[in-house]
Structure 1
């Protein structure tokens, strides 16, 4: 089934071009790891899919329908969920309220209790903190909360940006492992991560270099190429 398709996508900010002629397909049910050094276009690619780069050209489609001229909030309504870098939480709200803010569409809101249970199954460290302000959590807990809020929505395509950024290795491993255990059903996931060793659960690795796709490999072949 057709999933995310990018054809000739370029993107940047003001006069600066970051991405050059990106051609990429992500099938429904597939997890793709997007790797590369900082500054080579991983974040811009995810933002370009959502129409959130400074500008974007080329063709973008999801499930056979063009999304090139669709506003970011409309894409979110259609199930395209961007989980940005860092611990993007509302520090003054409780952990529970932060999670429920992710269930902003009517269907997700009606099922918010079940969705919250699913998130807490993935991130049990949040359970004792449900009623405390998010700003009092540790860095790793805030990152779990930020990702968990994204999972509260009616997601089909999950775009996850650098989930391990700033986290201790053990916490980062647990966070990425939780994302890999998520049942995608009829969805897909693109996870941008500088630490390729965390991406053992993806189906394919795509490496960006200087704003272009430099390499695409099945995950197993990528591991062999790294000598692991």
Structure 2
């Protein structure tokens, strides 16, 4: 995907549905004997930015892990760019994740999944792991710095010396360096001060997706309201329908 900064303004007319990037049908998934996701359906089109909101422990991260092939077991269909990537994980989580990544997935996990001894620039370079992305890495880094200007002066600094907000920018920026067509961003504001969390969400809204799509899992519903194309509430492993962020929050709390 060619990352750039979007000039799209909130409140602009909704885009017409386009090609399906993700089609999930009848997905159940969990860890060991525990079922976390229950018969879940979800369709995402290219160009869409979707928010999945819900309290911690209700399955948002597990949904992302299932799409990436990282749950202990699962059943149901997961199609990424028309290719079936869902299968029973009887041979262990992660066994087929490299194939799913090649099909177009980028998972940006919650928290600081970083290498503290590497610099900011080294982290960004590590996201350009395909041949095409590596050749284009200089231009891609410039686009990431447009999205996260505070990183400009930190490129040579070990990530372990950065603040929590700066580390989150590095983690997200590394994910955006890829050629993915589907970005799964898990709890981007988790553990951050409100002002910093808002700035991280603002940066994600500035990414022009083109033919890619983005799903943001977030507990802080107010950060997504009016900012994404769709908001879906999640409660005890089930999606509770699309609504405004405020209504979605009310739906999963009362479910």
Fold shared by both chains (TM-score > 0.5): yes
- How far 1:56 moved relative to its partner? 1.3
Question: 1:155 is paired with a residue of what secondary structure?
Answer: coil
**Structure 2 residue corresponding to 1:63, chosen from 81, 89, 98:** 81
Q: Which residue of 1 aligns with 2:49?
A: 31
Question: 2:124 is paired with a residue of what secondary structure?
Answer: helix
Deviations 1:88-145 (A, max 9, x none): 1111011111110110110000000000001111111111111111110011100100
d(CA) in 2 for partners of 1:209, 1:120: 36
Q: How does 1:121-132 map to 2 (within 5 A)?
A: 121-132=146-157
| Correspondence 1:175 to 2:175 | no
- How far 1:155 moved relative to its partner? 1.6
Q: How does 1:33-182 map to 2 (within 5 A)?
A: 33-69=51-87, 71-182=96-207
Q: Which residue of 2 aligns with 1:202?
A: 228
Bigger drift between 207-216 and 148-157 goes to 207-216
TM-score (norm 2): 0.84
Give runs of ≥4 in structure 1 deviating > 2 Å. Answer: 221-227
Deviations 1:22-78 (A, max 9, x none): 011111111110011111100000111111111111000022221114821122122
- How far 1:79 moved relative to its partner? 2.0
Question: 1:3 is paired with a residue of what secondary structure?
Answer: strand
d(CA) in 2 for partners of 1:204, 1:93: 36
Bigger drift between 183-192 and 58-67 goes to 58-67
User: Contact between 2:232 and 2:248, CA under 8 Å: does it hold in 1?
Assistant: no
RMSD over aligned CA atoms reads 1.5
Q: Which runs of 5+ in 1 are unaligned?
A: none
Question: 1:167 is paired with a residue of what secondary structure?
Answer: coil
**Structure 2 residue corresponding to 1:3, chosen from 16, 21, 25:** 21
- How far 1:225 moved relative to its partner? 7.1
d(CA) in 1 for partners of 2:159, 2:48: 32
Instruction: Report how many aligned residue pairs link the two structures.
Output: 224
Question: 2:185 is paired with a residue of what secondary structure?
Answer: strand
Q: Which runs of 5+ in 2 are unaligned?
A: 1-18, 88-94, 251-255
**Structure 2 residue corresponding to 1:192, chosen from 217, 224, 231:** 217
Question: 1:147 is paired with a residue of what secondary structure?
Answer: helix
Instruction: Decide whether aligned partners of structure 1 residues 123 and 194 sit closer, same or farther in structure 2, where only a CA change above 3 A counts.
Output: same
Question: 1:19 is paired with a residue of what secondary structure?
Answer: strand
